[in-house]
Copies of this chain bind each other. A is one copy, B any other.
Amino acid sequence: MNIKKAAQATDLPPKTIRYYEEIGLVAPARSANGYRDYCEADLHRLRFIQRARSLGFSIQQCRSLLSLYDDEHRASADVKALALEKVGEIDRKIEELRSLRATLSTLVAHCHGDDRPDCPIIEDLAGA
């Protein structure tokens, strides 16, 4: 299967699939003409990566997940640990964003927002 079909089958752009090969995630066979030739196992790995990425895992984390995916004797605890770490990361990001949002919306609330130049937002940024 050529790369475009593989792209359609995995919902990934061809460029991204080539990139994943370049960084050693999925290495398909090559046809006689040099074209990439994706087998079912390759597609499974690509879909696996696509799903993991869409859940927010980094490429490095995907690498770890893939090696667990490949390991018949994995311990589900190891997978769970990775997922929990990710949940922690997400929690930290949410907390950070919430804090930013609170600060910003306080500033917004104090800005009358008309055509006059005086503005508490600018004043705060300027360190008033």
Measured CB to CB, the residues of A under 8 A from B are 44, 47-48, 51-52, 55-56, 65, 68-69, 71-77, 79-81, 83-84, 86-87, 90-91, 93-94, 97-98, 100-101, 103-105, 107-108, 111-119, 121-122, 124-127
**With contacts A93-B97, A94-B94 known, is A83 near B103, CB below 8 A?**
no
**With contacts A79-B111, A119-B79 known, is A65 near B97, CB below 8 A?**
no
Taking a contact as CB atoms under 8 Å apart, the answer to whether B77 and A114 are in contact is yes
Taking a contact as CB atoms under 8 Å apart, the answer to whether A119 and B80 are in contact is yes
**With contacts A75-B116, A77-B113, A104-B90 known, is A83 near B127, CB below 8 A?**
no
Of the candidates B101, B104, B113, which one forms a contact with A94 in the assembled complex, judged by CB atoms under 8 Å apart? B101
